Homo-oligomer: A and B are copies of this chain.
Amino acid sequence: MSSTSEPPGEGGRTVGEVGERGILGEVFGVLAEHGAAAGSLRDVVVGPGDDTAHLRVRTGAVLATTDTMVRGQDWLDAWSTGQDVGEKIVTQNLADLASMGGRGTGVLVTLLCDRELPLAWCRDLTTGLARACSRAGVPVVGGDLSAAGPGVVAVSVTALGELAEGIPGAVLRSGARPGDVLAVSGPLGRSHAGLEQLRAGARQGRWVDHHLRPWVDLEQGPVAALAGATAMIDVSDGLGRDGGRVARASGVDLLLDEAAVDDLAARLAPELGLEAARRAVLGGGEEHELLATFPVGAVPTGWVVLGGAEQVQGEPTVRLGEQALDPDGGGWDHFGG
């Protein structure tokens, strides 16, 4: 199941065999090793072990977001280790905070699983959670364990955070104005490129690694907010779909520059071919780079300019030259399939 797990039936114990206390013993041990235990961070008034966590709030308001990953739906055991899953789910939650101009202050983690799940997988998951939390300086402050039917494994993370100091308000999706510059905090399409390579049989490589454990510079969220970003979102469902959300919320059209898209695609073209690379840039999800609009002249260093916001013409859309991107194309609907 996981490359570092003992396979079941070869001496590895299951979560059902060790019970709730046994699982928690493992979890708290791994968190402590990685400095992601609640006691190690200054803003935790009460950590795990009581009825609720209690976190200090400096800015007068708390950011809160939650995301779930489900085995077979959001990851395949053949491709992802427990550690991959743990890193990815923390990153995607923290990217949601970053895209408001925020930073994490604590996470709650829920594991829902089959009693037959190897304890080693649970330990791997915790290692991944702990690594990502530790890198971001965010403690695990609470959570829940629940047993579920055969084969079910689902991991939910709720991330709490605050706006970084000096940022007057959260950066919403709705603030883009005609004339703003559209930019992204890093290259797009890497996660999709990795997914294509996994489908083609690859098991490692830089794009594969980015798909399994997307990593972006979350500090660019506060950087963008301080620079005056007017709207921001992280690219979790694709440039067309997430850009469309900003366009609709703001009541603008977003116009993508063909040369900028081609530049991004060129980085992926040697592996994917040019057409697939363009599709990866325009439609690839799970990137978690930040997509934002800025007043002219305010784009932070290192961001990639993609185009700009324009006066809306009819329904708000994302356009590449004259062509409107399908807001539901190349993206992801959990139920639409």
Please give the residue numbers on chain A whose beta carbons come within 8 Å of chain B beta carbons, in ascending order. Answer: 15-16, 18-21, 23, 45-46, 49-57, 60-70, 72-74, 96-97, 99-100, 102, 106, 108, 110, 112, 115, 141-149, 151-152, 154, 156, 158-161, 169-170, 172-174, 232-234, 249, 333-337
Known: A52-B102, A66-B142. A45 touches B170 (CB 8 A): yes
Closest Cβ neighbor of A53 among chain B residues: B64
Distance between Cα atoms of A319 and B8 in the complex (Å): 41
Contact of A161 among B52, B110, B172 (CB under 8 A): B52
Distance between Cα atoms of A95 and B50 in the complex (Å): 13
CB distance from A20 to the nearest CB of B (A): 5
Known: A54-B100, A97-B52, A112-B112. A142 touches B19 (CB 8 A): no
A112, A115, A249: most-surrounded residue (chain B CB, <10 A): A112
Asked if A66 and B144 sit within 8 Å, CB to CB, the answer is yes
Which B residues are in CB contact (< 8 Å) with A18? 335
Which B residues are in CB contact (< 8 Å) with A173? 50-51
* 8 residue pairs A–B, Cβ–Cβ below 8 Å: A19-B335, A19-B336, A20-B336, A21-B333, A46-B172, A54-B64, A69-B146, A73-B146
A50, A152, A233: most-surrounded residue (chain B CB, <10 A): A50
Which B residues are in CB contact (< 8 Å) with A110? 66, 68, 156
Which B residues are in CB contact (< 8 Å) with A62? 54-55, 57, 62, 160
Distance between Cα atoms of A152 and B72 in the complex (Å): 13
Distance between Cα atoms of A53 and B172 in the complex (Å): 10
Asked if A61 and B52 sit within 8 Å, CB to CB, the answer is no
Distance between Cα atoms of A148 and B52 in the complex (Å): 28
A112, A144, A334: most-surrounded residue (chain B CB, <10 A): A334
Closest Cβ neighbor of A44 among chain B residues: B61
A23, A54, A147: most-surrounded residue (chain B CB, <10 A): A54
A23, A51, A233: most-surrounded residue (chain B CB, <10 A): A51
Contact of A146 among B68, B100, B147, B172 (CB under 8 A): B68
Asked if A108 and B56 sit within 8 Å, CB to CB, the answer is no
Query: With contacts A66-B142, A66-B144 known, what are 6 further pairs, Cβ within 8 A?
Result: A20-B335, A52-B100, A52-B159, A54-B170, A70-B148, A160-B160
Known: A20-B336, A142-B66. A233 touches B57 (CB 8 A): no
CB distance from A89 to the nearest CB of B (A): 11
CB distance from A33 to the nearest CB of B (A): 23
Which B residues are in CB contact (< 8 Å) with A333? 19-21
Which B residues are in CB contact (< 8 Å) with A52? 63-65, 96-97, 99-100, 102, 159, 161, 170
